[in-house]
Structure 1
Amino acid sequence: MAPTSKPQLNEAMPSPAPIDLSKRAHELLAGFSAQGGGNPARFAILVKEDAAFISAALSAAPPAPGDGEPYSRHIIFAGPEGEAMIAHWPAGSLSWPHDHGEAWGTVIVLEGHVIEQGFRLKSDLEEAGSEHAYQTGDAIQVRPGGIHSMRAIPRSITLHLYSPPIREMKVYDQPTRIIYTVADNCGAWIPANRELIKGRETFDHHPLHHEIS
């Protein structure tokens, strides 16, 4: 009986079907409440279990940001169910303190190492606890009303999924004590294009006390 030949490691294997990032992000966000129970930590686990989606998202990272912006953004899905975005952070870049409107969600570190600092707004914008470090594969939980900033240590890539879509995000300028409401297509910084600023108020006139949990 002739010996059965064994496949060689260097033999060409069929390539996996390409991932439709937008479609898959839509599916994940649509299942946020049903499968993730509306819990950001549980939702992050579901997302990270999809290795093909995570790999494709990393490959789809945008180029480095322009001057004055801490990170660049690649929106892979936006719809009534929520939004998904990939961010590219140069080493040492820092976002402004910001919230996420009424959105829940998760930020997954695809590559690199980021630091998160939570804040609460009282008479001033105060740090809420110590910084938290997140390495590749870790996930940051996002809840309505939470205020935080993010800082990249080395160059980093992050995947952001929010449900519902972020609306009327607020960016907090500590030196001037002004809160800016920015356009939905703006990231967590005070835009140079003033048309992207939709409103402003001082810390003293803001009625809410926010704290990240």
Structure 2
Amino acid sequence: MNSSEHTPKVPQSLDELITALTEGERTTFSHIIQSIKFKPNAFDKYSSWSNECYTRNCIINNENFELILICWCEGHATPIHDHGGEECWVKVIDGEFREVIYKENEEGELYAIKSTVSKPNEVTYMKDFMGFHSLENVSKQRSMSLHLYAKPIRECRAYDEKTKTFISRFLTYNTTV
């Protein structure tokens, strides 16, 4: 047996990605999401835009994972948030995003511990033990990111800047196909 027989096939399309995630184990998700390369038009039927806020567009949601396309206008940003205990991979499809990771001190105050900018085809990973994070489209254009959650996230905690506390948020989609 040669080594290529042990290497999972790299998905070449969104449909192949969904099949690979459906048939794969959670331990393979990182390799799968990092290996695939997309053209921005691969998401035409899933993209929707709002000048007010980024949009969350469901591609697939089952008991093992959730795949969401987030469409961002220039300057759109998430609040600081966690992931309800689940794993999260973010793959940049188009544009550039700044991710800031935060920790909470003994007094409940947040402080930034890391800031990075990701470009097309780069993937970031987040799980609650790592802290909280926020994402911002720092491109001078509309941008898209693909979010893989294992398992699906129904609720998270988001930081309220006014009250300086975390509030529970139920997550919804702008579109489902």
Picking from 104, 110, 125, the partner of 1:121 is 104
| 1:97 partnered with 2:80 | yes
Task: Please give the alpha-carbon distance, in whole angstroms, between the structure 2 residues aligned to 1:32 and 1:57.
Answer: 24
Task: Please give the alpha-carbon distance, in whole angstroms, between the structure 1 residues aligned to 2:62 and 2:28.
Answer: 19
**Unaligned stretches of 5+ in structure 1?**
1-18, 37-42, 188-213
| 1:169 partnered with 2:152 | no
SS of structure 2 residue aligned to 1:46: helix
Bigger relative contact order (CA 8 A; separation at least 6): 2
The alpha-carbon distance between structure 1 residues 151 and 20, as it changes in their structure 2 partners (threshold 3 A), is closer
Which residue pairs with 1:136 in the alignment? 120
Q: How many residues align?
A: 158
Structure having the higher strand fraction is 2
Larger Rg: 1
Picking from 160, 164, 173, the partner of 2:147 is 160
Picking from 61, 77, 82, the partner of 2:65 is 82
Return the offset for 1:148: 0.4
Which residue pairs with 1:49 in the alignment? 35
Q: TM-score, normalised by structure 2?
A: 0.76
Return the offset for 1:63: 2.2
RMSD: 2.5
Q: TM-score, normalised by structure 1?
A: 0.65
Contact persistence 1:117–1:132 (CA under 8 A) = yes
| 1:33 partnered with 2:65 | no
Contact persistence 1:61–1:88 (CA under 8 A) = no
Task: Please give the alpha-carbon distance, in whole angstroms, between the structure 2 residues aligned to 1:30 and 1:148.
Answer: 29
The amino acid of 2:36's aligned partner reads D
Task: Please give the alpha-carbon distance, in whole angstroms, between the structure 2 residues aligned to 1:176 and 1:150.
Answer: 20
Paired-residue identity, %: 22
| 1:179 partnered with 2:166 | yes
SS of structure 1 residue aligned to 2:33: helix
Q: Runs of 4+ in structure 1 displaced over 4 angstroms?
A: none
Contact persistence 1:93–1:152 (CA under 8 A) = yes
Task: Please give the alpha-carbon distance, in whole angstroms, between the structure 1 residues aligned to 2:27 and 2:166.
Answer: 34
Contact persistence 1:61–1:157 (CA under 8 A) = no
The amino acid of 1:143's aligned partner reads K
Task: Please give the alpha-carbon distance, in whole angstroms, between the structure 1 residues aligned to 2:27 and 2:100.
Answer: 30
SS of structure 2 residue aligned to 1:28: helix
Task: Please give the alpha-carbon distance, in whole angstroms, between the structure 1 residues aligned to 2:137 and 2:18.
Answer: 24
Return the offset for 1:33: 2.4
